[in-house]
Amino acid sequence: MSDLDEACAPSRARRSGGRQARVAMRAAPLAEDVRPIRPGMPGGRYQPLDPSGVEQIHQSALQALEEIGLSNAPASGVEILTGAGAILGDDGRIRFPRALVEDMLAKAARDITLHARDPKYDLHLSGSNVHFGTAGAAVHVVDLEKNEYRDSTAQDLYDAARLVQNLDNIHFYQRTMVCRDVVDNKEMDLNTLYACLAGTKKHVGTSIFDMEHVPEAFEILHMVAGGEEKWLERPFVSNSNCFVVPPMKFAEESCRVMEDCVRRGMPMLLLSAGQAGATAPAPIALAIVQAVAECLAGVCYVNAIKPGAPAIFGTWPFVSDLRTGAMSGGSAEQALLTAGCAQMHRFYGLPGGAASGISDSKLPDMQAGWENAITNTLAGLSGLNMCYEAVGMHASLLGFSLESLVLGDDILGQVMRLVRGIDVTPDSTSIEAMKEVCLGGPGHYLGSDQTLRLMQTEYVYPTLGNRMSPKEWVEAGKPQLLERAIARKNDLLAKAGCMVEPEIDSAIRAKFNIYFR
């Protein structure tokens, strides 16, 4: 052994022993309260709007509701809203006096909990608590194994739900795809709902196309819950309701669905999804004004039906590429819109949700990575309660990738670490550890007690992200990221079962035409 080898030998031994200790520590499960990241950590450090900007948007939204109002309310909605104090004009538009809006804001539910079938997945929507999940209505699946786009099916929806159940950093599952193999609209609504419930015990968001489909959807919910009373105790599904068709127009059938679902105890996502430069104004601030005005109308509507009914303020404006008019969900402007909307939710003290994580790229490539990371980071740092469409969405919401769920889980882990921020405490700034290392110690912190103690509670590690050296990478067979994503997807699906008890599953399948297995 050379002099150099002898000098290096103790250091190598220490590094090897330290690595073994780190591996052992990482293999041990952590208690929930000491995990480095958890659902519902508070954000809010990033604020693109200053206080005067927030106030200007608020005042403009109130002015729009008073002077422009919304058209096309169903007859039932006209009765509900005018009974609460809204004004039906000769032009058929419903206008909202400021006093009515302020009164309904005072009645609106705050600090709500979106329940899950398993209470450990409950989402507590208060303050700037951040949660990431899925959403969307993609009509294609991005099939990486065949490198093609194909129609999405009920089985794909079920498989995506099963993956979400097994991915820690995806906190809820809202419908991601259209079941294009289900032609009948009622059967599509029922299969959409049940595919989500069968795949995960996390909170579920679903859509209902027609008011006539609501009773049978609730029949399924009551069967899964164990009865209507148990459903009402813990309603574990919310309705993603596009009650408006921007600009400033009610969607009649969706409003009727909303009325029925509110009365049956289902939380509402009041979803306003204008597209800046197309169905919403081009200025980012004015696009937020329109979305806020539309969602304030929704708050009035819901609370006129049932004061204090749980509802999410779903300001969800999208962005256009003004050169072509095409949607640009992965743009910097989209990230700013979402962050600005989060500030408005906090201004009203209401639980809020908006879009983040969408990619315009057709595949999970570098473009998808930067678009997903930037938009989700700003959403998290802005303190958005519900970050929808955060993973899986490609081609500006037209395509969905199962592999992007498992890749996105890694991204969201890093984003949540940013949301947590830096813990500055007497212990974390004490120089005692520095003294031990520098004054007669080994000259590094690799094996110190503090390093080993914090490696799991202070640091987040990717599951698929590759941190090997080039030499290790070559020795491992040059693993490729997408290949690893495909393998992990297949491994998770092979182990994931149905999340509904067998006897209930059998009863539902006997009564309804379920398309997935």
CATH number for the domain formed by residue range(s) 110-292+308-421+498-511: 3.20.20.480
461 token code pair? 């590690």
Task: Give the whole-angstrom CA distance, residue 455 versus residue 457.
Answer: 6
- Please check the confidence at residue 152 and state whether its pLDDT lies above 70: yes
Residue matched to tokens 């979402």: 338
Give tens-digit pLDDT for 62-121. 999 999 999 999 999 999 999 999 999 999 999 999 999 999 999 999 999 999 999 999
Check: CB of residue 381 under 8 Å from CB of residue 419.
Answer: yes
Task: Give the whole-angstrom CA distance, residue 411 versus residue 401.
Answer: 15
Give tens-digit pLDDT for 352-381. 999 999 999 999 999 999 999 999 999 999
Check: CB of residue 339 under 8 Å from CB of residue 48.
Answer: yes
- Domain regions of the chain by residue span: 110-292+308-421+498-511
- Please check the confidence at residue 25 and state whether its pLDDT lies above 70: no
Q: How many CB atoms lie within 10 A of CB 151?
A: 13
Q: How many CB atoms lie within 10 A of CB 114?
A: 27
Give tens-digit pLDDT for 413-445. 999 999 999 999 999 999 999 999 999 899 999
> In the chain, pLDDT over 70 holds for what percent of residues?
94
Q: CA distances (Å), 133 to each of 244, 313, 381, in order?
A: 23, 16, 16
Q: What is the pLDDT of residue 35?
A: 86
Task: Give the whole-angstrom CA distance, residue 179 versus residue 198.
Answer: 15
DSSP structure string for 350-368: --BEEE-----SSSSSHHH
